[in-house]
Amino acid sequence: MKRVMKIILLLQMIAAPLTKEPTLPLTELRFTDYVSSACTESACELRNPYIGWYQLYGYSLSDDSSYDTSAISEQEYGPGLALLQFNLRNYADSPVSEAGLRQLNDILAAWRSTGRQLIVRFLYDWDGDALEQEPQNLSLILNHMSQTADVINDYSDCVYILQGIFVGAWGEMHSSNYMNAEDMRTLIRHLAAATDPDIFLAVRTPEQWRTVVRNPDPLSPEEAFDGSLAARLGIYNDGMMGSETDMGTYADADAFFSRTGFEKRSRQAELLFQEALCHYVPNGGEAVIANPYNDFSPAVQNLAQTHVSYLNSAYDEAVLSKWKESVYQGGNLFDGMNGYDYISRHMGYRYVLRSSDFSYARPASLFLVLENVGFSGSYRAFDVALTLKRSDSSQEYTFPIQTDTRFWIPGEDIRIETSLEIQELTAGTYEIFLYISDPVSGFPIFLANEESDDAGGCYVGALTINKFP
């Protein structure tokens, strides 16, 4: 068929003068042949930014102590998530001192040197006693937000999400004097105004999301990533799958809610809400308290439906152990894998190149079909490009692809068409690689294909160009 296509192309070029269509001089004619790669899906673990298991680290800022940050900086450089909790209880009755802000800056600088993407939570309480530990007036909390934002904004390249609004037991937005609707809105809006718009924010429950943005409905695709508070605001569920209500995150099954209200809804309704919302904002947290809701099969269904992209790597150990003892049986390449590893490989985005094809028409075009088989999309826009490498020389040509990877959501084919200016290329055989990379962290985005290489490129196919005569 490809030989027929080349003959047809030659006849069209020769016949072109009869039809008054422009044609290339004979010395510039190109005959092309394309062979696609096998596009074999891989079950390997991918080390990509913004997704996966996070490690938790706590720091209590003060004037009287210091932290040795050398152990942080000595970690292996690479992508991965860390959740940093900064306790401000030593400043519950005063502004954060210059010494406290220097501590914050030094710790963030050390973490930046590791390449990690950071989830940050400011709080006043680690003991479940927020009512006693928090400042006695709202204005001081607002001041703390402004002070810490001045530091945080210098690290917008590595601070990915700010969880919470500083208040509540363990910073989880409950058991606080400031959880009425008016105070929540005041706090989250001040935090949004003070912080870099590239940093995502997060509240503890879908009910709180609706309350602070004053909208009973989740984001639409048209509203996604538009810079508004709603488009920056994700969910962090630290009671995930802990009970039918996720430890009070949702209402009881028989609870009444009005369709136009902001109040807490039943589990089924809240899962549907997150299914729509979390295509466009991050969702993560902790899986807690072993029970039937976090058995492996229902857990996978829950994590996929709510598009979970990150989880605590250490808590709850009883739940994590249960997943490690389970076996995935889905009739595909993951068959026989333990449940923990299966979840690890599907948290967040996971891109697979499914097929490629080449059009010989002018302009020549390459067609790609990818699939995101992960639980969620990416909430940061990645760079996408094709690189053509001539096999018998060091010649390389790069063709950027215009696409918004934030809309590469699970369950939909990702179809890409890009023109290739092959008339500019010398004769020879070119290997084509697809490269996806994060412009913020600088890390490559690995695809789940056997044809992927250590540099992050995925082999797409081979294009041979012959010059006439």
The number of distinct structural domains making up the chain is 2
pLDDT (tens, 9 = 90+) of the chain, 469 residues, equals: 333 333 333 333 333 333 333 334 444 556 789 999 999 999 999 999 999 999 999 999 999 988 999 999 999 999 999 999 999 999 999 999 999 999 999 999 999 999 999 999 999 999 999 999 999 999 999 999 999 999 999 999 999 999 999 999 999 999 999 999 999 999 999 999 999 999 999 999 999 999 999 999 999 999 999 999 999 999 999 999 999 999 999 999 887 766 668 999 999 999 999 999 999 999 999 999 999 999 999 999 999 999 999 999 999 999 999 999 999 999 999 999 999 999 999 999 999 999 999 998 878 899 999 999 999 999 999 999 999 999 888 889 999 999 999 999 998 999 999 998 887 788 899 999 999 999 999 999 999 999 999 888 999 999 999 876 5
pLDDT on residue 50: 98
Phi, psi angles (nearest 5°) of residue 317: -60, -35
Is the domain of 424 the same as that of 299? no
Distance CA 292, CA 220 (A): 33
Q: Which of 328, 346, 364 is the last residue of a domain?
A: 346
Give the position of tokens 């809105």: 185
Is the domain of 325 the same as that of 180? yes
Distance CA 65, CA 60 (A): 9
Is the domain of 314 the same as that of 447? no
**Is 46 among the domain residues?**
no
pLDDT on residue 392: 86
Distance CA 32, CA 464 (A): 5
What is the sign, positive or negative, of the torsion defined by CA atoms of 231, 240, 180, 258? Answer: positive
**Is 45 among the domain residues?**
no
**Is 261 among the domain residues?**
yes
Is the domain of 276 the same as that of 246? yes
Is the domain of 342 the same as that of 353? no
Q: Which of 330, 346, 362 is the last residue of a domain?
A: 346
pLDDT on residue 468: 66
Residues 6+ apart with CB under 8 A from 409: 279, 372, 376, 377
Distance CA 311, CA 308 (A): 8
Is the domain of 261 the same as that of 393? no
Is the domain of 166 the same as that of 223? yes
C-alpha count within 13 angstroms, C-beta hemisphere, residue 430: 22
Give the position of tokens 């510039």: 28
DSSP assigned state of 279: T
Q: Per the structure block, which two tokens stand in for 359?
A: 């059009």
Closest CA to 328 of 311, 310, 313, 345: 345
Is the domain of 303 the same as that of 379? no
Is the domain of 182 the same as that of 146? yes
**Is 400 among the domain residues?**
yes
**Is 44 among the domain residues?**
no
Contact 377, 349 (CB under 8 A): yes
446-459 exposure pattern, b = at least 16 Cβ within 10 A, e = fewer: bbbbebbeeebbbb
| Furthest CA-CA distance within the chain | 89
- For the chain, the residue count is 469
243-272 exposure pattern, b = at least 16 Cβ within 10 A, e = fewer: bebbbebbbeeeeebeeeebebbbbebbbb
Distance CA 353, CA 447 (A): 7
Q: Which domain holds residue 380?
A: 2-36+349-467
Q: Is the peptide bond before 469 cis (omega within 30 degrees of 0)?
A: yes
Is the domain of 248 the same as that of 338? yes
Is the domain of 11 the same as that of 123? no
pLDDT on residue 256: 72
Closest CA to 347 of 40, 50, 42: 50
Q: Per the structure block, which two tokens stand in for 136?
A: 């006695």
Contact 352, 285 (CB under 8 A): no
**Is 135 among the domain residues?**
yes
Closest CA to 204 of 244, 247, 255: 247
CATH code at 387? 2.60.40
**Is 361 among the domain residues?**
yes
Is the domain of 118 the same as that of 254? yes
pLDDT on residue 1: 39
pLDDT on residue 66: 86
Q: Which of 308, 329, 346 is the last residue of a domain?
A: 346
